[in-house]
Chains A and B, each alone.
Chain A
Amino acid sequence: MMGRTTLWQFSRRFGLYVLGAALLLALPKMMPNEYVFRVVIAVIIDIPLALAQNLITGFTGMLTLGQAAFYGIGAYTSALLVLRAGLPWPVAFLAAGLVACLFGILLGFPCLRVGSDYLTLMTIGFGEIFHIVALNWMDLTRGPMGIPGVPPPQIGPIVFDTSFRMYYLYLAITLVCYLSMHRLTKSHVGRALIAIREDETAAATMGINVAYYKVLAFAFGTLWAGFSGSMLAHFLAFVGPMTFTLNESLFHMQMAILGGLGSLPGSVLGAAILVSLPQVFQPLYRYRMLLNGALMVMLMAWRPQGIMGTSAAARATRLDLRWVRDLVRGKKAKGAEAPQCLEAEGLPGRESE
Chain B
Amino acid sequence: MDVNYLIKQLLNGLAAGSIYALVAVGYNMVYGILELINFAHGDIYMFGTFIALALLERHLPAPVAIPLACLAGGLTGMLVERVAYRPVRNAPRVVPMLSAVGAALVLRNLAQLIWGTETMPFPQLFPTRMIQVGEVQFNSLQVIILALALSLTGLFALIVRRTKLGKATRCVAQDIPAARLMGIEVNRIIQFVYFAGGFFGVAGGVLFAMYYAVWIGMGFLGTMKAWIACIIGGIGSLQGAFVGGLILGVTEALISGFVSSAYRDAICYGLVMLVLVFRPMGIFGRQVAEKV
- Give CA–CA (A320, B266) in the complex, Å: 40
Does the CB pair A301–B105 fall under 8 Å?
Answer: no
Contacts of B108 in A (CB 8 A): 289, 293
Contacts of A129 in B (CB 8 A): 266, 269-270
Does the CB pair B103–A246 fall under 8 Å?
Answer: no
- B92 touches which of A297, A299, A317 (Cβ 8 Å): A317
Does the CB pair A128–B89 fall under 8 Å?
Answer: no
Given contacts A118-B276, A290-B109, A297-B84, contact A337 B269 (CB under 8 A): no
Can you list 26 pairs linking A and B with CB atoms under 8 Å apart? A114-B277, A115-B280, A116-B93, A121-B276, A125-B273, A129-B266, A132-B263, A250-B101, A250-B105, A253-B98, A286-B113, A287-B109, A289-B105, A289-B108, A289-B109, A293-B109, A295-B102, A296-B98, A300-B87, A300-B102, A319-B87, A337-B187, A349-B180, A349-B183, A349-B185, A351-B180
A277 close to chain B: CB less than 8 A: no
Does the CB pair A336–B87 fall under 8 Å?
Answer: yes
Q: Can you list, as one digit per residue, whether each of A315-353 has a CB less than 8 Å from chain B (1) or not (0)? A: 011111001100000000000111100100001111100
- B266 touches which of A61, A63, A132, A336 (Cβ 8 Å): A132
Contacts of B90 in A (CB 8 A): 319-320, 336-337
Does the CB pair B91–A319 fall under 8 Å?
Answer: yes
Across the interface, name the chain B residue whose C-beta is closest to A124: B224
- Give CA–CA (A118, B108) in the complex, Å: 24
- Give CA–CA (A63, B273) in the complex, Å: 16
Q: Can you list, as one digit per residue, whether each of B254-292 has a CB less than 8 Å from chain A (1) or not (0)? A: 000000001101100110110011001100000000100
Q: How far is the CB of A51 from chain B (nearest CB, A)?
A: 18
Q: Can you list, as one digit per residue, whether each of A121-143 has a CB less than 8 Å from chain B (1) or not (0)? A: 11011101100110010000000
Does the CB pair B290–A115 fall under 8 Å?
Answer: yes
Contacts of B184 in A (CB 8 A): 349
Does the CB pair A110–B180 fall under 8 Å?
Answer: no
Contacts of A133 in B (CB 8 A): 263, 266
Contacts of B177 in A (CB 8 A): 338-339, 342
Does the CB pair B86–A336 fall under 8 Å?
Answer: yes
Contacts of B220 in A (CB 8 A): 246
Q: Which 3 A-B pairs have the closest CB atoms?
A: A293-B105, A296-B102, A125-B269
Does the CB pair B106–A128 fall under 8 Å?
Answer: no
Q: How far is the CB of A306 from chain B (nearest CB, A)?
A: 11
B186 close to chain A: CB less than 8 A: yes
- B88 touches which of A57, A294, A304 (Cβ 8 Å): A304
Given contacts A121-B272, A133-B266, A300-B99, contact A287 B113 (CB under 8 A): yes
- A290 touches which of B93, B94, B110, B181 (Cβ 8 Å): B110
Residues B213-233 near A (CB distance < 8 A): 220, 224, 227-228, 231
Most buried by B among A57, A304, A337: A337
Most buried by A among B89, B106, B187, B228: B106
- Give CA–CA (A300, B85) in the complex, Å: 10
Does the CB pair A113–B110 fall under 8 Å?
Answer: no
Given contacts A121-B231, A317-B94, contact A116 B87 (CB under 8 A): no
Is the contact region of chain A dominated by helix, strand, or loop, or is it mixed?
helix
Across the interface, name the chain B residue whose C-beta is closest to A288: B109
Contacts of A63 in B (CB 8 A): 93-94, 97
Does the CB pair A297–B99 fall under 8 Å?
Answer: yes
Residues B101-153 near A (CB distance < 8 A): 101-110, 113
Across the interface, name the chain B residue whose C-beta is closest to A341: B177
Most buried by B among A124, A128, A133, A297: A297
Given contacts A113-B277, A125-B269, contact A342 B181 (CB under 8 A): yes
Q: Can you list, as one digit per residue, whether each of B20-58 has a CB less than 8 Å from chain A (1) or not (0)? A: 000000000000000001000000000000000000000
- Give CA–CA (A293, B106) in the complex, Å: 5
A292 close to chain B: CB less than 8 A: yes
